[in-house]
Amino acid sequence: MLRTLRRNLVHRPINKLHRDYDAWLGIDNTIRLSKAINRLLHGGEQRRYDRAYREQFDALLAENGPLLDGAAPRNTMRDGWAIDRSGTLPGIAELLKDTAPLIETRGGLTEEEAQAEKKPFFYSLFEKDDLHRFPSFMDFVLSSEVIATVAHHMGTIPVLSRTRPPGVRFMESNEAYNPNPGGPPQQSQNFHLDIHDRPVVYVIVLLRDTTEESGPWHFLPASASERAAKALDYQKRGQPYRITDEQMYAVADPDDVIRFTGPAGSVLFIESGRCFHYGSRKAIIPRYQMMYGFTTVCRGDLTELVSQGQQHPSAASDATLRKMVLRHE
Q: Closer to Fe ion at the Cβ: 18 or 322?
A: 18
Residues that bind Fe ion (CB under 5 A): 194
Q: Closer to Fe ion at the Cβ: 34 or 143?
A: 34
Q: Closer to Fe ion at the Cβ: 191 or 288?
A: 191
Cβ atoms < 10 Å from Cβ of 100? 13
Q: Closer to Fe ion at the Cβ: 73 or 293?
A: 293
The amino acid occupying position 265 is G
Q: Closer to Fe ion at the Cβ: 194 or 304?
A: 194
Find the shortest distance in angstroms from Cβ 150 to Fe ion.
17
Find the shortest distance in angstroms from Cβ 259 to Fe ion.
16
Q: What is the DSSP string of 76-99?
A: --BTTEEEE-SS-STTHHHHHHHH
Residue 266 near residue 211 (C-beta atoms within 8 A): no
The amino acid occupying position 277 is H
Which of 31, 27, 29, 35 shows the shortest CA–CA distance to 297?
A: 35
Find the shortest distance in angstroms from Cβ 27 to Fe ion.
13
Find the shortest distance in angstroms from Cβ 76 to Fe ion.
22
Find the shortest distance in angstroms from Cβ 278 to Fe ion.
8
Q: Closer to Fe ion at the Cβ: 157 or 171?
A: 171
Find the shortest distance in angstroms from Cβ 277 to Fe ion.
6
Strand segments (E) across 142-279? 159-160, 168-173, 201-206, 217-219, 258-260, 267-271, 277-278
Q: What is the DSSP string of 4-21?
A: HHHIIIIIHHHHHHHHTT
Find the shortest distance in angstroms from Cβ 45 to Fe ion.
26
Rounded to an integer, what distance in angstroms lies between the CA atom of residue 108 and that of residue 308? 29
Rounded to an integer, what distance in angstroms lies between the CA atom of residue 138 and that of residue 319? 13
Which phi-psi region, left, alpha or beta, contains residue 217 (left: φ > 0; alpha: ψ -120 to 50)? beta
Q: Closer to Fe ion at the Cβ: 101 or 184?
A: 184
Residue whose Cβ sits closest to Fe ion: 194
